[in-house]
Amino acid sequence: MDIHNALKALADKINPLKSHITNEESTKHAFVLPFINLLGYDTFNPTEVVPEFTADIGLKKGEKVDYAIIQNEQPILIIECKYWNTNLDIHNSQLFRYFHTTKTRFALLTNGIEYRFYTDLEEANKMDEKPFLEFDITLLKENTIHEIAKFHKSNFDIEKIVDNASSLKYTKEIKKVLNEELISPSYDMVKLLTGQVYSGRFTERVHEEFSKLVHKALNQTISDRVNDRLNTALTKEHEKQQEEHPIIEEKESKVITTEEEQDAYRIVVAILRRDIPVDRIVARDTQSYFGILLDDNNRKPLCRLYFNGKKKQIGIFKKEKKEQKEHITTIEDIYQFEKELLATIKLYDND
C-alpha cells in the first residue's frame, strides 16, 4: 500500500475509533504508532523507533519524549503525543525544551489527528515557535500528502526537507495573513490599494469609505477567479461529451441546463475539489435531475440536484450508496452538506 492509500486508510479509522480512545496511551497505540509505521519505520525495532526517549534538560535528568525515530544511531525526529481530544496550542513548550537537548532537526507534536512538524529555521538548534507543516489527518489534501511523504524512510533527506520547510512555513503564514485581509482588510492594506486608485489625501473618512470597497473588491476578485476556472472546466467537459456522445446529445436535446443548476454545480465542485481534482467531477444533466458524477461514471454518483419541481432537493449518497433526498431553499444551502459530499468520495475508494 502506498503512503497515499495508507494515510486515507488511517484517516478512515479515526472517527469510528475516537469514542473508544480514552487516554493518551491508547491514542498512541491507535493513531500515532500506525502513522509512524506508514512512514516506513518499524515501531517494534528499538534501534529505529525508541519509545520514552531520554532528553535530559540541564540539571533536570530523566526527561523523556514519547518517541524518537533513529537513523545512524542519531534521532532524526522526536515525537510528543497527547490525548486525541487535547488542544495542542498549549503543549509546544514542552517539545521546545526537548528539541535543543538532542541533535534532531525535526520535532512533531500530535494528538493523533492534528500533526504539527517543527524545525529550527530562525535560530540553529532552537525550535521555531510555529510549525512549518501542519495538518488534520482526516482532512488531507494532495499537496500535504506530498510533504508527508518526504518523511518516509525511503525518501528522508534532512537538507531537502529543511530547504523546503522555509517555503512551506512562510507560504502558510502569508496565506493566513491574506485570509485575514479578505475577512477584514487592515489599515495598511486599505491605504496601499487606495493609493493605487485615489489621488486625494488619505483621511479617516477616506479610510472608512474605502475599507468597504477594498473588502468587496478582494472577495469579488477571488470569486471571479474561481468561477472562471469552473467555467473553463465546464466548457471542456461539454466539448468532451459532444465529441464522445454526439448521438446521445441529439436524443437528449429536450434537456435544458439552467443557470441555477450550473451555479449549484460550481458550489459542489468548490466543496469536492479539496479532496479530488476538478476534472474528476463531471456534470450530466437529464430530464429528471442534474447529476454530478465521479470520473464520468454513472455508477459513481456524487450527488443529484432536483430543481425542476416546485421545491428544490439535493440527493446525497450515503452508506451502501443509497440516495437520500434533502430539501433546500436556495443553492447556498448545499454548503450545509459539505461533510456528506466529501464522505461520498470515500464510498468509491475501493471501486
Provide the residue-wise pLDDT of the chain in tens; the chain has 351 residues.
Answer: 589 899 999 999 998 999 899 999 999 999 999 999 999 999 999 999 999 888 665 545 667 889 999 998 889 999 999 999 999 988 777 788 778 777 889 999 999 999 999 999 988 888 998 999 999 999 988 889 999 999 999 999 988 898 888 888 888 888 888 888 888 999 999 999 999 999 899 999 999 999 999 988 888 888 787 777 777 777 777 677 666 655 544 444 578 888 899 999 999 998 998 888 888 999 999 989 999 999 999 999 999 999 988 899 999 998 778 899 999 999 989 999 999 999 999 888 766
pLDDT of residue 241: 67
CA–CA gap between residue 289 and residue 344 (Å, rounded): 18
CA–CA gap between residue 106 and residue 23 (Å, rounded): 25
Check residue 319 and report its DSSP letter. G
CA–CA gap between residue 122 and residue 125 (Å, rounded): 9
pLDDT of residue 59: 47
Alpha helix ranges (H) inside the chain: 3-18, 24-27, 33-38, 92-99, 142-149, 158-183, 187-197, 204-244, 246-251, 259-272, 338-346
Model-level pTM? 0.58
pLDDT of residue 183: 87
Closest CA to 303 of 274, 329, 282: 282
Q: Which amino acid makes up residue 231?
A: N
Check residue 238 and report its DSSP letter. H
